[in-house]
Amino acid sequence: MIKFALYPYIPKRYLKRASFEDIDRHRMILDFKDGKPYAVRWAAREMCHSLSDMDLTNTIIVCVPACCKRTNDRRFKEFSNIICERTGAVNGFSHVQVFGHRRKAHIDHVHELADNADEFIHVDGDFFRGRNVIVIDDIVTTCKTANAFIDRMVAAGAKVNMVLFLAKTKQFKRKSN
């Protein structure tokens, strides 16, 4: 399985040393996470560009669910529609349901999706069984949440071929004295 991130993501505490392009991308990624329409269109365009050389005719695109239904819908519904319309992929958005509200792993450092996935999401196994899937997520740091979702997809019978992240958190080494 291929795992790939389009951009580096620079944590807020390091932005004062970042380039203009890095600061602008940081803002775009956070606006995408907030579901702002212009940023959703930008992120979809970037993903489509990276997938443009692939034949996705019989491939399902599905996103790692956000922390609650409202956020998931705001962030990924139109995003999934755009990507599938432009690439010819099958939209799996409506076949993953989000229930309740889980804590945000990037804020609380608690990976509830990884630990208690059954309480937060329902994957339609009949839809995904035996089908090729590309999983998409916004930011990856440890990959724990994405891996938990991939495990859920595989348990539902999906063949996950690729995981595509909008950005990967850049790790900075501390200077030793």
Between CA 44 and CA 82 the distance in angstroms is 6
For the whole model, what pTM was predicted?
Answer: 0.87
Asked if the structure places residue 31 within a domain, the reply is yes
Domain range spanning residue 133? 2-169
Residues 66-116 have pLDDT tens digits of 888 999 999 999 999 999 999 999 999 999 999 876 555 544 444 445 455
Asked if the structure places residue 95 within a domain, the reply is yes
Asked if the structure places residue 176 within a domain, the reply is no
Asked if the structure places residue 175 within a domain, the reply is no
Residue 74, classed as helix, strand or coil, is: helix
Asked if the structure places residue 174 within a domain, the reply is no
> In this structure, what CATH number is given to the domain that contains residue 149?
3.40.50
**Helices then strands, each counted (H, E), the chain:** 8, 7
Domain tally for the chain? 1
**Identity of residue 7:** Y
Instruction: Name every residue whose Cβ is closer than 8 Å to that of residue 77 and which is 6 or more positions away in sequence.
Output: 93
Order of all β-strands in the sheet with 159-169: 2-9, 159-169, 132-140, 59-63, 90-91
Between 42 and 172, name the one with better pLDDT.
Answer: 42
Asked if the structure places residue 105 within a domain, the reply is yes
